Amino acid sequence: MASPGIYVSIPFCAQKCTYCNFRSDVFPRGLRSQYVQFLADELGLLDVRAGSTLYFGGGSPSLLEPSEFSTLAAALPRRDWEEATIEVAPGEGTPERVSTWAACGISRVSFGVQSFVPEVARAAGRRHEPETVRIEVERLGEAGIRNISVDLIAGLARQTFATWRQTLSWVERLGVDHVSVYMLEADDDSRLGRELRAGGRRYGALQVPSEEAILDFYLFAVERLRALGYERYEVSNFARPGMRSLHNLKYWRMEPYFGVGSDAHSFNGTQRWANVATAPEYVGRMAAGLSPRTAFEELDRNRMLEDRVLAGLRMTEGIRLGPRAWRDLQPRVEPLVAREWLVADEPSLRLTEGGLLFADEVVAELLA
């Protein structure tokens, strides 16, 4: 079995973005201090030596002060990870924090930029200027952290084709190794999503591009990034050769991972479990001497197949099936092959270039 990845949930933000549907939020500083200490306790229960990748996700892990981050690093007594990532909000990569990350073994930074155009970023709840990101990328390089990823969202309020071109031009200028491009999903768990459903005006709801425009932005990004030498290896992820996210590949390949903190999930190859959803719940349970775990699932053969299809088909490499699974899915595979959304080469399935645009529909039909 592959070595597991370790995910550390930091659900704290300086401000809540309009599109965000995660369980992160702006919480009191006192709660954060308690959370960090209990998180270190939970980390201490893991055999981190068995892990190969480390990922600090959020929220905004870069919001932690150097002393808080060092507390967590002390519970992870190793620095030789194959990959150790921290998600960073532009503007939070101060010299002191960057120095601490490097000293604690961080080798990769994922910047939550979303847009390099200030008026678009502000409409989404971000406050940064593009120069902020450039300065912090240079600062990270000087500290020895040169594996940089940038997250972008196609479809933010006030976004136009011209501003989207500007954003992609900044990607070229910075020369980062990895880019994630997500199409806006405004659901009821985000403030923007609720406003759109209600037909309201707040959060730039009236200036959100149409679904057709969002798709055009995404397709333009695919071609532009390909021309710049990035390989699309998952529906939303593009990397220069050899620079794919090793940690995220574990999720898509159904390899083990262990999560700590609120709303963190784990998988050991046959079982899944999850911690309580919010930071206050997490602190409350840990303070009471209770386990933070509240959900547990034993995966049978059918559920394992469903999860493999759901996660694995997002990758351009696709998935390999056993003989029984191949027979089970064959009647649903053939129509999708005929529609040119799927390539079937027993025992492998993968989405075509066009099929990647309809990944959710393909998965739904395969698992109907």
- Specify the 3-state DSSP secondary structure of 10: strand
Q: Contact 351/313 with Cβ under 8 angstroms?
A: yes
Q: Which domains are seen in the chain, by residue range? A: 5-252 (3.80.30.20), 301-366 (1.10.10)
Q: Which amino acid is at 43?
A: L
Q: How do residues 95-127 score in pLDDT, each as one tens digit?
A: 999 999 999 999 999 999 999 999 999 888 888
Which range in 12-16, 20-24, 107-111, 364-368 is most confidently predicted, on average pLDDT?
107-111
Q: Is the pLDDT of residue 201 over 80?
A: no
Q: How do residues 229-281 score in pLDDT, each as one tens digit?
A: 999 999 999 999 999 999 999 999 999 999 999 999 999 999 999 999 999 99
Structure tokens, 84: 């150790």
DSSP 240-298: -TT---HHHHHHHTT--EEEESTT-EEE-SSEEEEE-SSHHHHHHHHHTT--SEEEEEE
Which sign does the torsion angle of CA 337, 252, 126, 25 carry?
Answer: positive
Q: Please provide the average confidence, as pLDDT, over all residues in the chain.
A: 92
| 0.85 surpassed by pTM | yes
Query: What's the pLDDT band for 22 if we cut at 50, 70, 90?
Result: low
Q: What are the helix and strand counts (H, E) for the chain?
A: 13, 15
Q: How do residues 285-315 score in pLDDT, each as one tens digit?
A: 999 999 999 989 999 999 999 999 999 999 9
Question: Can you tell me the distance from the alpha carbon of 161 to that of 182, in angstroms, rounded to the nearest whole number?
Answer: 16
What integer pLDDT is reported at residue 195 of this predicted model?
A: 74
